[in-house]
Amino acid sequence: MMSIAARSGALSPYMQATKQTVKSLVSPGAQHLVPAAAPGGIRLAHTDIKIPDFTDYRRPEVLNPNKSSQESSEERRLFSYLVTGATTVVGVYTAKTVVSQFVSSMSASADVLALSKIEVKLSDIPEGKNMTFKWRGKPLFVRHRTEKEIAAEEAVNISELRDPQHDKERVQNPSWVIVLGVCTHLGCVPIANAGDYGGYYCPCHGSHYDASGRIRKGPAPLNLEVPYYEFLSEDTVMVG
């Protein structure tokens, strides 16, 4: 049977290179050259590669090759904690400053804050009458009630009310009722001293409020809103 080399007629380049390598190992003194067209399977060593020097990036505590890094681990750990803590403090302070400036920019200006409150001189409102003021873009009703109105509203059975509230819960001084003139149905402006209960009447859909601003009849679900206010004196009230 013919050998593979006999059938092919010549050795392949890879087999020739292998043969030359074996000969050089068996006869060290023999000079054999590797063919110029050496196959890719033969790896040649590169001796011109420079190994990077990372000394500048290493901490001084670990430069000594004869000293264990465990001896300086505690010191290096404390340094890392110190840097982390300082960075955290700076970050928190910066975030606090940014948030404070943002909130300040979003807050109302001085002229807007001035309009958020209104002083009402009560001596200008006769007994039994209601006056309307503009406050925060809404109508504000200030009503000077008579003794008869006060007695009638305090005697109402709150269990019969749609939005149960006693008259004393809605006023600081029984003589004065201060409510927003906005119907709780669809936001219309009721008419003062009108309706079946002598308080306020919304003609849009027929909501009737009493002299305490409580809903008594009609589609409105809630009583008229009572804003925050305080009496600065017997003759002056501050709303807002």
Residues labelled as active-site residues: 205
In angstroms, the CA 218 to CA 229 distance is 28
For residue 108, give the nearest of 135, 134, 139, 136 by alpha carbon.
136
Q: What is the DSSP string of 5-40?
A: HHHHSS--HHHHHHHHHHHHHH-TTS--PPPTT--T
In angstroms, the CA 132 to CA 192 distance is 9
How is the chain split among helix, strand and coil, in percent rounded to 5? 35, 15, 45
